[in-house]
């Protein structure tokens, strides 16, 4: 079967901007608003979600013709849960501080509508090479927005980025930025800016 690289690039690019899960489709809001109070948390959550998304898309695309239609969704969830469990134990073993910080939100990747939605809408209907491109694009799209959101909130809320203090003692941190309300405000402004850029383009 011939591989259409233009089509593959389109699948990849969609997740980065045109169909970005957060700023375009507005899905996966739970971790987006809950764990992005620091750059490190946003990056870690984004990468963990991206790993689960890519691996589950590969597996589901490979075995899609073997899954009976009446158990399709439970099968998808089982596959996703396997990769989430691996990710959870990996973080606890090698990055315990990050695992503790992200807490329950790693296991909750199982029910992230981004993950299940891509399996149903894309991986189960397309060949594996397209599923990989889609998974990488959506995963990176999710990750860059979470990281940017975390960086903005950490900078204004603590005067630092990635734990490195950038602003001196003179700076009075905007406490609201590390609270849930700060997540809503920052995300709203970010979505507005992205929409403005798209309109100008």
- pTM of this prediction? 0.93
pLDDT single digits (tens) 50-83:
999 999 999 999 999 999 999 999 999 999 999 9
Q: Above 70 in pLDDT, residue 14? A: yes
Domain ranges of the chain: 5-200
Q: How far apart are CA 116 and CA 154, in angstroms?
A: 30
pLDDT single digits (tens) 128-147:
999 999 999 999 999 999 99
What residues pair up with 161 in beta bridges, in sequence order?
Answer: 164
Give the 3-state secondary structure of residue 165. Answer: strand
Q: How far apart are CA 31 and CA 146, in angstroms?
A: 9
């Amino acid at each position: 079967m011939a591989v259409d690289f233009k089509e593959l690039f389109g699948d990849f690019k969609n997740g980065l901007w045109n169909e970005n899960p957060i700023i375009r489709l507005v899905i996966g809001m739970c971790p987006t608003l809950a764990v992005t109070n620091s750059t490190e948390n946003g990056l870690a959550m984004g990468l963990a979600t991206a790993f689960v998304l890519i691996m589950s898309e590969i597996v589901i695309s490979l075995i899609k013709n073997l899954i009976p239609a009446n158990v399709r969704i439970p099968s998808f969830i089982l596959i996703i849960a396997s990769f989430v469990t691996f990710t959870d134990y990996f973080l606890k073993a090698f990055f315990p501080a990050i695992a503790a910080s992200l807490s329950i939100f790693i296991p909750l990747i199982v029910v992230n509508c981004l993950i299940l939605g891509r399996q149903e809408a894309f991986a189960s209907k397309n060949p594996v090479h397209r599923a990989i491109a889609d998974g990488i694009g959506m995963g990176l799209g999710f990750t860059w927005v979470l990281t940017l959101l975390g960086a903005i909130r950490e900078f204004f809320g603590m005067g630092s980025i990635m734990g490195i203090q950038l602003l001196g003692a003179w700076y009075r941190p905007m406490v609201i930025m590390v609270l849930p309300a700060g997540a809503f405000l920052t995300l709203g402004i970010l979505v507005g800016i992205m929409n403005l850029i798209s309109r100008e383009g």
